[in-house]
């Protein structure tokens, strides 16, 4: 019977004789995991690879050399101002190229959904929401969210201040708002140091969190949704 394990600590667990066909593992820490006498057919692995040994062969260098997103995917938890600025600049550069591609396609492209995923417009709306939640509220002290922000499905009913769940902005309106937020984030990290951040801040829905983690979440959201959007754009 299918089960869901969410926000569980399963470290040091032993799985013996289990059937994991079609299992979906996301946001998981597999450091030090060992798989013995297992069958891998049509398996897809996506994540940060740091010493991966398959059947006695260390394939780490091969994987990373052919990974289009290496080393950017390893830079999403910067610990210095320079690292933070470099990672943000790299991600924003990718988004600029992405938007240029979209604008060269048919006008309805941003409104199309692929396999039930968010449209490109709604992807940007979610990133606006993520910036509100993880940067503008806890770091800048703003106390309202953009009306066009789009929460993740499981959080729609939380009661986000200012969010209009019935909003239907145009793609250009979403891009304009996204640019305003990106510029504000850029100015903040260029003019201030992460060493001056408070130890912890209050994040709506998530409670108290390390201030630096908020920046890490912004980077992760931007990076992962960029990759999702590129995947869907290729199909469109």
Indicate if 66 and 111 belong to the same structural domain.
Answer: no
Whether 151 contacts 163, CB under 8 Å: yes
Determine the distance from the C-alpha atom of residue 51 to the mean position of all C-alpha atoms in its chain, rounded to a whole number: 23
Indicate if 136 and 170 belong to the same structural domain.
Answer: yes
Indicate if 34 and 146 belong to the same structural domain.
Answer: no
Q: Which of 71, 96, 127 is the last residue of a domain?
A: 71
Indicate if 145 and 193 belong to the same structural domain.
Answer: yes
Token code pair at residue 170? 């145009």
Indicate if 51 and 88 belong to the same structural domain.
Answer: no
Indicate if 141 and 221 belong to the same structural domain.
Answer: yes
Q: Which of 47, 71, 95 is the last residue of a domain?
A: 71
Q: Which of 71, 92, 126 is the last residue of a domain?
A: 71
Indicate if 89 and 66 belong to the same structural domain.
Answer: no
Range(s) of the domain holding residue 30? 1-71
Q: Answer whether 0.85 is exceeded by the pTM.
A: yes
| 3-class SS of residue 88 | helix
| 3-class SS of residue 205 | coil
Indicate if 55 and 82 belong to the same structural domain.
Answer: no
Measured CA to CA in angstroms, residue 38 lies from 18, 41, 43 at distances of 10, 10, 12
Helix axes 171-191, 81-103, angle to 10 degrees: 160
- Which pLDDT value is given to residue 158? 96
Instruction: For 151-199, write each residue's pLDDT tens digit.
Output: 999 999 999 999 999 999 999 999 999 999 999 999 999 999 999 999 9
Indicate if 62 and 126 belong to the same structural domain.
Answer: no
Indicate if 49 and 29 belong to the same structural domain.
Answer: yes
- Which pLDDT value is given to residue 230? 97
Q: Provide the number of structural domains found in the chain.
A: 2
The parts of the chain modelled with pLDDT lower than 70 are: none
Token code pair at residue 152? 């993740």
Indicate if 122 and 183 belong to the same structural domain.
Answer: yes
Burial grade of 93 (CB within 10 A; 0-12, 13-18, 19 or more): exposed
| Residue 77: closest CA among 221, 215, 225 | 215
| Residue 91: closest CA among 212, 188, 221 | 221
Who's near 50: CB < 8 A, 6+ residues apart? 60
Q: What is the CATH number of the domain that holds 210?
A: 1.20.120.450
Helix (H) or strand (E) holding 130: helix 120-131
Indicate if 137 and 55 belong to the same structural domain.
Answer: no
């Amino acid at each position: 019977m299918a089960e869901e394990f969410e926000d569980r600590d399963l470290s040091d667990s032993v799985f013996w004789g289990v059937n994991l066909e079609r299992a979906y593992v996301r946001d998981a820490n597999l450091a030090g995991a060992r798989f013995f006498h297992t069958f891998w057919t049509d398996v897809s692995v996506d994540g940060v690879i740091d010493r991966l040994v398959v059947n006695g062969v260390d394939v780490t260098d091969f994987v990373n050399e052919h990974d289009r997103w290496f080393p950017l995917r390893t830079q999403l938890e910067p610990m210095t101002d320079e690292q933070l600025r470099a990672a943000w600049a790299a991600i924003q550069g990718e988004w600029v190229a992405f938007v240029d591609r979209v604008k060269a396609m048919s006008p309805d492209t941003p409104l199309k959904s692929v396999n039930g995923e968010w449209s490109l417009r709604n992807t940007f709306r979610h990133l606006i929401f993520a910036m509100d939640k993880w940067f503008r509220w806890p770091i800048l002290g703003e106390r309202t969210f953009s009306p066009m922000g789009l929460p993740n499905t499981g959080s729609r009913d939380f009661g986000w201040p200012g969010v209009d769940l019935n909003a239907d902005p145009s793609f250009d309106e979403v891009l304009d708002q996204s640019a305003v937020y990106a510029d504000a984030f850029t100015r903040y990290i260029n003019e201030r140091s992460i060493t001056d951040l408070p130890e912890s801040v209050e994040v709506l829905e998530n409670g108290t969190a390390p201030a630096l983690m908020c920046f890490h979440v912004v980077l992760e959201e931007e990076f992962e949704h960029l990759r999702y959007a590129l995947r869907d754009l290729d199909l469109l």
